[in-house]
Amino acid sequence: MKRKVLWFGVVILCLCGAATFLFAGKEKPAEEQFITIHWAQWAPADYLEKLSEGFTTETGIRVVVEQTPWETFVQKYNTEMIARSDAWDIIVGDSQDIGNMAVNGHYVELTDWIKDHGVDKTFTPASLTYFAEYPKGAGKYFAVPCEGDGLAWAYRKDLFEDPRNKALFKNKYGYELGVPKSWDNLKDIAEFFHDPDKGFYGIAIYGDNGYDSLAMFAEQVIWSFGGELGDYSTYKVDGLLNSEGSIAGIKYYRELFKFVPPGFGDAFYVKCNDAFTAGIVPMSCNYLAFFPALANEATNPYAADTDYFACPPQKGPDGKTRQYAALGGQGASVVTYSKKQDLAFKWLEWFIKEDTQMEWAKLGGYTCHAKVLASDEFLKATPYNPTFKITMEIFKDWWACPEYDVLLRTFSETIAGYVVGGKGTAEEVLNKCTQQWKAIFKEAGYYD
């Protein structure tokens, strides 16, 4: 009996061995090819995932767009890059972070690729400078402009065109109520509509100072009033950040902030859109990427009466007129640590094509492709696309050096108290910030 059991075991073992040998010889089923793109959690990321379905159909390579909430988006990809992670093949990162990513070697340099594929000729020069180039003016590129965005305005046409409002406004300010022709004009309109007793307020603008929202609004008024954040090539800030124009810009921001609804000290894109769709403000400033919600009747009951305009020009204390808007948006970069760089480049090649860019624009993405931007098809696709085109011509960006985050934090900490809380004066806060920035640049070795 014992012998029989032993033999039975030997036979079973032999059969198992033979089966393993036979199956091991067979071909493994083909592994699915895919790339992962990391971006912030918002509607354009959904559009990109939808757009990339076309790439999958063409190549069979699946595209996963991983989204992280805006509040932790920059920290998350910075942490992953510090750990040299290959979790993502492409990062659609913030424009001001490009210096940090380039200097530390987290992004693959795309200079030759961009020239070989003619991106420098087909995309707008400003978008390449701000989304892809570091150092600015050096001709070295680390990204492909993906989502061009900027701050612009939505307003209630019905309120602006109401004959009674028009008559009252003209009587008070001596000129016609309409789309503001200057920042001064915009403040008058905010003041005119501001009626807290009736639960109606003059304006919805950013007040949040956790990341870059307050700084982005501040920089566009600083530039429009003739001020500067500093010299991006020499890192000189004294006499620029605390110049007469910069002081006038920050003073203006404080004055405008008096007409926001209560609790706007932490207002970012959600609060601005919410105030507008709740019908408690006549106009709201936001990134263009958040305007689809305002044009949609399902999310905005005033959608039919909503129109858009770009940041207006302004005469500065020096008598010169300037027009600027703060840049938003991101460029797509290939991650150095990605094990699928070949697939990532394949996706980039497909993404920069004119027809892909047109499709991208139709889905709701903001293309930086010059030809698509200028096309009638694009301009008529949404009610805010003409505003986007103007904004793309007047935008400027924050510092892009690796220290941009410390600059952001110190700027927000010093400016917020004055703009939101009304503490101190514009001169005091800008002088304080200038000294802090000088110390940061000195420590980083830019003055050596």
At its nearest, how many Å lie between another protein and the CB of residue 126? 27
Task: Give 91 or 214: the residue with its C-beta nearer to another protein.
Answer: 214
Distances (CA, A) of 349 to 94, 143, 353, 360, 374: 21, 12, 7, 14, 22
List 178, 279, 313, 402, residue binding another protein (CB under 8 A): 402
Inter-CA distances, 250 with 121, 227, 258, Å: 37, 10, 13
From 220, 412, 434, 436, residue interacting with another protein (rule: CB under 8 A)? 412
User: Least CB distance from residue 448 to another protein, whole Å?
Assistant: 13
Which region, judged by CB under 8 A, interacts with another protein, from 146-154, 166-174, 291-299, 402-410?
402-410
Whole-angstrom distance, CA of residue 226 vs CA of residue 117: 38
CB 40 within 8 A of CB 73: yes
Q: Does 417 bind another protein (CB under 8 A)?
A: yes
- The upper half-sphere exposure of residue 280, i.e. CA atoms within 13 Å in the direction of its Cβ, equals 19
Task: List helix spans (H) across 310-383.
Answer: 341-351, 354-363, 370-374, 376-379
User: From the CB of 199, what's the least distance to another protein, in Å?
Assistant: 8
Q: Which is nearer to another protein, 100 or 127 (CB)?
A: 100
Residue placing its CB nearer to another protein in the complex, 63 or 81: 81
* 396 three-class SS: strand
428 makes contact with another protein (CB under 8 A)? no
Q: Judged by CB under 8 A, how many residues of this single chain contact another protein?
A: 33
Q: How far is CA 15 from CA 11, 20, 44, 121, in A?
A: 6, 9, 56, 66
Stretch that binds another protein, among 122-130, 158-166, 218-226, 400-408 (CB under 8 A): 400-408
Name which of 188 and 403 has its Cβ closer to another protein. 403
- Asked if 420 touches another protein (CB under 8 A), the answer is yes
Which residues fall within 8 angstroms of residue 428, CB to CB, at 6 or more apart? 418
List, in order, residues 6 or more apart from 218 with CB less than 8 Å away.
Answer: 249, 250, 253, 411, 415, 419
Q: Which residues pair with 37 in a beta bridge?
A: 65, 90
Which one of the spans 103-111, 284-292, 312-320, 338-346 is the region binding another protein (CB under 8 A)?
103-111
Minimum CB–partner distance for residue 104 and another protein (Å):
6
Shortest distance, position 99 Cβ to another protein, whole Å:
11
Kindly state the smallest distance separating residue 423's Cβ from another protein, in Å.
9
Give the residue with the Cβ less far from another protein, 54 or 279: 279
Among 186, 416, 429, 430, binds another protein (CB under 8 A): 416
End-to-end CA distance of the chain: 91
Cα 414 to Cα 90, 180, 266, 375, distances in angstroms:
35, 29, 15, 43
In contact, 344 and 338? CB cutoff 8 Å: yes
- CB of residue 252 to another protein, shortest distance in Å: 20
Looking at the Cβ atoms of 294 and 416, the one nearer to another protein is: 416
Q: Residue 114 or residue 429: which is nearer to another protein going by CB? A: 429
149 sits in which H/E element:
strand 144-156
Instruction: Tell which one of 15, 16, 19, 104 touches another protein (CB under 8 A).
Output: 104
**Binding pattern for the stretch 184-223 against another protein, x by CB under 8 A and - elsewhere:** ------------x----------xxxx---x---------
Please report which helix (H) or strand (E) contains residue 327, including its range. strand 325-334
- Amino acid at the residue 190: A
Identify which range of 5-13, 219-227, 303-311, 417-425 contacts another protein by CB under 8 A: 417-425
With beta carbons less than 8 A apart as the criterion, state whether 405 and 158 touch. Answer: no
Residues of this chain, 280-319, that bind another protein according to CB under 8 A: 280
Q: Which helix (H) or strand (E) holds 156?
A: strand 144-156
- Out of 9, 17, 60, 105, the only residue in the binding site for another protein (CB under 8 A) is 105
Residue 85 half-sphere exposure toward CB, CA atoms < 13 A = 14
Backbone phi, then psi, for 329, in 5-degree steps? Answer: 80, 170
Nearer to another protein, 237 or 368 (CB): 237
Shortest distance in whole angstroms from residue 215 CB to another protein = 10
CA 156 to centroid of chain Cα atoms: 24
Minimum CB–partner distance for residue 204 and another protein (Å): 11
Considering only residues 62 to 81 of the shown chain, the ones binding another protein according to CB under 8 A are: 71, 75, 78-79
Q: Are strands 321-322 and 90-94 parallel, antiparallel or unpaired?
A: unpaired
Per-residue x/- track, 248-277, another protein (CB under 8 A): -------------xxxxxx-----------
Residues contributing to the site for another protein (CB under 8 A): 71, 75, 78-79, 82, 100, 103-105, 196, 207-210, 214, 261-266, 278, 280, 402, 405-406, 409, 412-413, 416-417, 420-421
